[in-house]
Structure formats: C-alpha cells, structure tokens
Structure 1
C-alpha cells in the first residue's frame, strides 16, 4: 500500500475523525492535567503545521509540529488509526514532520508523549526515529504520566 504524506490544515474536515480518536485515546488512560492534545481549532490557533498520511485517498495518520524559541520545534498530535498500525505509516508521518521542521530552519525537535503502557508503541516509534529521553521543555512540567523526548535535526 503506497503511503503519501502531505501538509494539511489543522481544521481540515479530513482530520476531524483522527483528531477525535486521538483525543479519546488520551482520555482513556490519562487524567485531564496530563493531557496535552489539541482539537483542530486549537492546533490552528497555535500555528501547528499539520501533515496527513493517506493511502488510496483515505487518511490513516496525522501529525504536526510547531516552532518555539529561535530554532526549536515541538512535534504535536501524532496519531495513527488502529487499522494502519504496524504498516510503517507512523514512521512516514514522523519523517515528514522532521524533514519539514528541518527545512524551516529548526535544529532540534522535542515531543511529549504518554509514559504509560498505552503509549509504548509511540515511544518505540520515536526512539526508532532518533529521539531520546530528555527533561521537560517549554511550558511542560515534570509529570509521571509524560515522557519527554528530543533529537537534533
């Protein structure tokens, strides 16, 4: 199955289902104070540059990044639909985000993801993409439910 990645507006109707599932996935396992995902309107307001991964015209994954500081980026809202997990879709979207942030002049990328077992696959994906654990960054505070990671671009 050929997978295409492309920029997509955060409030694009194509992303609504994936955003809703992403938010529901976080709400299943984490208390409100440990959830840092955003709806489409907030992603747009925060200036997050979103990407979608599609196969046969159907969206299967999303992810975004936003700049912070002079040359830093934060990866946001990566989610792969259950039926596409294990097919390389996650790595495609992460690679697109890394490449886009690098092309925009960012030199380092950070992310926050869940620290519980429910997000083990996500942490493994980020590790395979070159991310390593780091201290909380930006406005984040130490939280036992959060794992913080970063990598040079």
Structure 2
C-alpha cells in the first residue's frame, strides 16, 4: 500500500469523501455531523493523506492541528472495495507516526455512537485510545464519542 500526501484535486478522492459525507448524514442528525468537505480539508492546519493499492484508491485520513502538541484525526475512511483488508490500521499507524514526527504528543478524535461506527470505535480502542470529554470546539452530544491518546515515546 502506498500512502501519499494528497492535494484533494483528484476525482477519486472527491468521490470517496462525498461517499463519506453521505454516510455521515445518513447515519447521524445533521447537527451531529462533524465530517469535513473537500474545501474544509484544504485548510492550512490540516494534512491529508490517501492510500492506494496500485491504481485503486483504498482509503484516506487527515490530521488537524489543534493547540500546540495536540492533533485531531479527521476524515478516516476506507473504500468499500478495501474493507477488512487492514487499510484503516495502516492509515492510523501512518498518521500516528507523522504526528509524532511533527512534535505532537496527543491525538484526539470524534466518532459516532451508532452501530455504523462500531468498527471505528473498536479500531481506536485497539490502538489505545480512551474515551474522553469533548475537546476543542466540540460539545457533549449523545451522537458523539470523543477519544484521545498520548503518543509521546
């Protein structure tokens, strides 16, 4: 699998992100959807990566810089053709390594409480993330789970 820093210009990545947004709005009330669209992912505080198997886009992930030393995982998505093949684990490992090398010591994330999000929650729990209080601009929401992990070595 090849993971690249992505400029979000390709049609494949735009389609994958639209699929992601469509699923988020189909699963959660609009006020509880925190997924970002392509334009929001182009902000300077966000680094975005895509994962490829040969010429097939198989997933994506983004890292948003919050306050110094703290980053947020955004836009984690595995393409339907690649589910169950370790793409999410590989992307998460890549993001953690990149976050450490850029000086971050803490990662946090928001995901949903619905059954649709159970695989994501299980992945994060398996990598040592723990539930936490809302962080950054988030507020308590019955449709959200907040998780965090110290990544200092």
TM-score (norm 2): 0.94
Runs of 4+ that moved beyond 4 A = none
Q: Secondary structure at the residue paired with 2:109?
A: strand
Q: In structure 2, list runs of 5 or more residues that go unmatched.
A: none
Return the offset for 1:14. Answer: 3.6
Alpha-carbon distance, 1:12 to partner: 4.1
Kept in 2: contact 1:66–1:75 (CA 8 A): yes
Structure 1 unaligned runs (5+)?
none
Contact 1:10 1:48 in 2 (8 A): no
**What residue in structure 2 maps to residue 134 of structure 1?**
132
The CA deviation at 1:26 is 0.3
Relative distance call for 1:11 and 1:131 in structure 2 (3 A) is farther
Distance (Å, rounded) in 2 between the aligned partners of 1:11 and 1:65 = 18
Q: 1:56 aligns with which of 39, 54, 67?
A: 54
* Residues 3-152 of structure 1: pairs in structure 2 closer than 5 A: 3-45=1-43, 47-152=45-150
Q: Secondary structure at the match of 1:78?
A: strand
Alignment partners' CA distance in 2, 1:13 and 1:105: 32
Work out the number of aligned pairs and report it: 151
Tell me if the contact between 1:80 and 1:90 (Cα under 8 Å) persists in the aligned partners. yes
The TM-score normalised by the length of structure 1 is 0.94
More displaced, 46-55 or 8-17? 8-17
